[in-house]
């Protein structure tokens, strides 16, 4: 367990990114579903992920209960404005022609998800990494190096930078900031309380996408969650 000087924020904010095009299916299902369930149910959804990373996630075993592989979990980051969003916006995801104005942040807290009765684990680094350790107790969230998430300069409350640098403190900043909170199988939409977007135009697209569903989360316009 690493020594850190900054305790975990409480509540602990979580972020899951997805395409606006996926919101009607998500809203109709009533749940945010894991990759395994989406695949087995043959749900037609817009992918925003690297296929090579998805292959690794399908094979990566979660070594603690409730077990399974990473594809059996719905993944969340502990901060918005992720490296993956940057990659998508720069057109570097094969087969994906979307940009950040097509991507929303589904936001909640770790505490809200646990209170909803979901089975969860979390990691201290990007979950596909061999060095990533898995935990199942929110009391151990302090193992994450939170200073890297909140050091200056900040945008919308989070550190502007996530890239690695040749300094002792920042050699693994990107891998740390991609630590994951993982929810087994599915997340009830009642536990997803907010959708973050970059502009009012995006907010209107979200409202239209959810118009025929029962899901009515708060829609936040937060440009600082984007590039």
180 is catalytic: yes
HEC string of 182-216 equals EEECEEEHHHCCEEEECCHHHHHHHHHHCCCCCCC
The DSSP secondary structure of 86-145, one letter per residue, reads: HHHHTT-STT----GGGEEEEEEEHHHHHHTT--EEEEEEETTSTT--EE--GGGGGGS-
Q: Which residue in 84, 76, 71, 68 sits closest to 39, CA to CA?
A: 71
Phi, psi of 42 (to 5 degrees): 55, 45
Catalytic residue among 57, 81, 177, 198: 57
Distance between CA atoms of residues 60 and 68, nearest Å:
8
Residue 143 DSSP class: G
Specify which residues 186 forms β-bridges with.
33
- Is the separation of the CB atoms in 220 and 193 below 8 Å? no
Q: What 3-state class would DSSP assign to 134?
A: strand
Catalytic residue among 81, 173, 177, 180: 180
- Catalogue the active-site residues: 57, 180
């Amino acid at each position: 367990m690493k020594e850190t000087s900054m305790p975990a924020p409480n509540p602990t904010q979580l972020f899951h990114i997805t395409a606006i095009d996926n919101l009607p299916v998500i809203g109709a299902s009533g749940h945010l579903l894991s990759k395994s369930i989406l695949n087995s149910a043959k749900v037609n959804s817009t992918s925003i992920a690297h296929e090579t990373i998805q292959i690794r996630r399908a094979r990566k075993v979660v070594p603690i209960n409730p077990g399974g592989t990473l594809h059996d979990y719905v993944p969340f980051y502990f901060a918005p404005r992720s490296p993956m969003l940057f990659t998508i916006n720069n057109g570097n995801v094969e087969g994906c022609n979307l940009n950040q104005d097509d991507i929303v942040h589904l936001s909640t807290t770790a505490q809200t998800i646990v209170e909803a009765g979901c089975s969860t684990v979390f990691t201290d680094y990007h979950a596909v990494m061999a060095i990533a350790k898995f935990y199942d107790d929110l009391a151990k969230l302090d193992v994450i190096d939170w200073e890297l998430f909140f050091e200056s300069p900040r945008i919308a409350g989070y550190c502007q930078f996530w890239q690695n640098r040749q300094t002792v403190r920042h050699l693994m900043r990107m891998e740390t900031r991609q630590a994951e909170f993982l929810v087994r199988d599915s997340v009830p939409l009642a536990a997803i309380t907010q959708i973050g977007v970059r502009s009012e135009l995006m907010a209107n697209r979200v409202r239209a996408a959810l118009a025929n569903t029962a899901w009515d989360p708060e829609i936040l316009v937060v440009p600082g969650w984007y590039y």
